[in-house]
Structure 1
Amino acid sequence: MLFKNIDKLVIAAVLIAFSQTASAEKIGKCDTPQCVEYFKKYKTAAKRGHPLAMLTLGQFYHHGYGTEEDEKKALKYFKKAARAGYTSGQFKAGYIFMTSEELRDIGDATYYLEKAAKYDYEGANFLLGMLHFDKKYDNRDLEKADEYFAASYKKKYEQMPTVVKFIEAEMPIDQKNFPQLYAAMNDRPLAQHKDGTLSFHDENVEVITITSPPLVQTFNKQLVSFRKAIKSTGTRFQGKTCAERLTCMQRADIADSTDFNNLFLDGFGGASNSQ
């Protein structure tokens, strides 16, 4: 049974899950003198070889923080951060290659998103599933879509209940079409509400909201670490390769205003494209 009908969820605070507050300050469009000054400082740090500065500079260009929006330059710096081993850069480069009308390249999108998925970057499996299922990408492969959607479902990625309805509007989720996703849904059925919407069961989970520090505080802390130029060792890190530095494989980006959850289900089931 893939769905369970429920009237309400009973939440028992036993296990702990962490989520980031929706009100956290994010990188978005900004043209104030302060934003322009931070953009200049990060650009200088990026020129000195700091990959984390490159990652943030890519976000500045992507959202127009302290500068004009420029997808090409955003992609340039995301790719630089990706080459240095930052999974965040891999994910964001793949995202631009997947969604940009001008820069779209499905092969490159797949390449970068698969790298991010390898390190379990949140949302990477979801994007890969959509890349291989949604006809608008002209890249349909149900076997791969099944693999990535199943992985995303097992992680309880929040957009998956809507994805399930999106898929079932075209074909059934069964052992023939989506064997891995079908098995995952049988193992952990979705809750079906009276209004027809689906959701994950939240039993035994206490959600603790953690508010991110103000952008200025985060920027200043990073800029202190950028005061010295990095001597090249082939990976831009002193003394250790990126593979030896676990931190470069972790999520290192600052929250920004792109909503990755709904972007690929625009107009379906109430989902909206918001940035």
Structure 2
Amino acid sequence: MINASKVCGILMFSALIISPNISAQKMTQCDTSTCVNYFEQYRKAAKRGHTQAMATLGQMYYHAYGTEKNEKLALKFLKKASRSKDAAAQFKAGYIYLTSEEYKDIDDGIEYLEKAADNEFKGANFVLGMVHLDKKYGRQDIKQADKYLAKSYEAKFEQMPEAVQFIETTMTLDAATFPKLFAEMQKKPLQKDDDGSINWPTGNIEIITISSPSLETTFDQQLLVFRKPIKSVGTRFHGKNCVQRMTCVSVGIADGSAFANTFLNTFSGANVSN
């Protein structure tokens, strides 16, 4: 399988293409006094109405970070953040609805993923495409799958080569069945490697690994912004999306690739892993 942290963006500097490989900090279960303290600070900041605090608090409930795991409260705060168009919160809420045993609701999951896709959250189009592609979600619609996967391909999402390989293994990928995806593939063809796998062309891409701040550093940066109460629920960074804000780091779901891999690994049908 393609590494979830592989090639997450392309920046052009003169004739050189640099593809930064960013290792995002992941939130995991934690019950230390430090984690409990961060949880309490975020709980207070969320109460004061900070959208990003709500989004992170929702993740803390989901990952049992500084508190017990509680998907109900995770959804509560992620959905609150979603109302202010926090794309990462929308994506995570959609993911929980699609995968939770207790709160599974495919329609709600698709609704939140569509909101995340509209707000250009990385990975949202890919997961939507897979949900509509795979029969096991009960919403198979090849036309919709084609639409979302074409958008994901156009954005050169990391896992698209594996999705293409899955489609070619289990059905026909041509202009008649997947017209939009097929058209994008003609514009930017994938390359076939010696081992038979297909991948994005590397060309003159230089891979640079960039270490992200520690989880604690990220929390401290965010909490500085949350010190003062605000009058209404919403972001204090009007006109800027999450990627553009230094203090807006969606820990645990900063990269939709991790969740896209979850769906790719559980496709019904042929296994396309290499």
| 1:200 counterpart residue number | 200
The 3 A distance-change label for structure 1 pair 237 and 155 is closer
**Where in structure 2 are the equivalents of 1:177-188 lying within 5 Å?**
177-188=177-188
> What code does the residue aligned with 1:206 have?
E
Query: Is the Cα contact below 8 Å between 1:61 and 1:68 reproduced in 2?
Result: yes
> What code does the residue aligned with 1:42 have?
Y
Q: Distance in 1 between matches of 2:190 and 2:208?
A: 22
| RMSD (Å) for aligned C-alpha atoms | 2.2
**Structure 2 unmatched runs, 5+:** 1-14
SS of the aligned residue for 1:256 comes to: coil
1:209, distance to aligned residue in structure 2 (A): 2.3
The 3 A distance-change label for structure 1 pair 126 and 228 is same
Q: Distance in 1 between matches of 2:44 and 2:152?
A: 38
Query: Is the Cα contact below 8 Å between 1:42 and 1:54 reproduced in 2?
Result: yes
Q: Distance in 1 between matches of 2:166 and 2:235?
A: 43
Q: Distance in 1 between matches of 2:235 and 2:185?
A: 43
**Where in structure 2 are the equivalents of 1:60-79 lying within 5 Å?**
60-79=60-79
| 1:246 counterpart residue number | 240
> What code does the residue aligned with 2:259 have?
F
Q: Distance in 1 between matches of 2:30 and 2:234?
A: 30
| 1:264 counterpart residue number | 263
Query: Is the Cα contact below 8 Å between 2:215 and 2:251 reproduced in 1?
Result: no
The percent identity for this pair of structures is: 49
Q: Distance in 1 between matches of 2:241 and 2:76?
A: 22
Q: Distance in 1 between matches of 2:65 and 2:121?
A: 24
* Segment drifting more, 53-62 vs 106-115: 106-115
Greater Rg by CA: 1
**Where in structure 2 are the equivalents of 1:2-13 lying within 5 Å?**
none
| 1:14 counterpart residue number | 16
SS of the aligned residue for 2:170 comes to: coil
SS of the aligned residue for 1:208 comes to: strand
Q: Distance in 2 between matches of 1:155 and 1:125?
A: 10
Q: Number of matched residues? A: 251
The 3 A distance-change label for structure 1 pair 237 and 27 is closer
The 3 A distance-change label for structure 1 pair 237 and 170 is closer
1:265, distance to aligned residue in structure 2 (A): 2.1
**Structure 1 unmatched runs, 5+:** 1-12
Query: Is the Cα contact below 8 Å between 1:87 and 1:249 reproduced in 2?
Result: no
1:246, distance to aligned residue in structure 2 (A): 2.6
| 2:154 counterpart residue number | 154
TM-score (normalizing by structure 2) = 0.84
TM-score (normalizing by structure 1) = 0.84
| 2:218 counterpart residue number | 218
The 3 A distance-change label for structure 1 pair 247 and 171 is closer
1:237, distance to aligned residue in structure 2 (A): 5.2
Match status 1:93 vs 2:85: no
1:194, distance to aligned residue in structure 2 (A): 2.6
The 3 A distance-change label for structure 1 pair 237 and 164 is closer
| 1:116 counterpart residue number | 116
> What code does the residue aligned with 1:70 have?
N
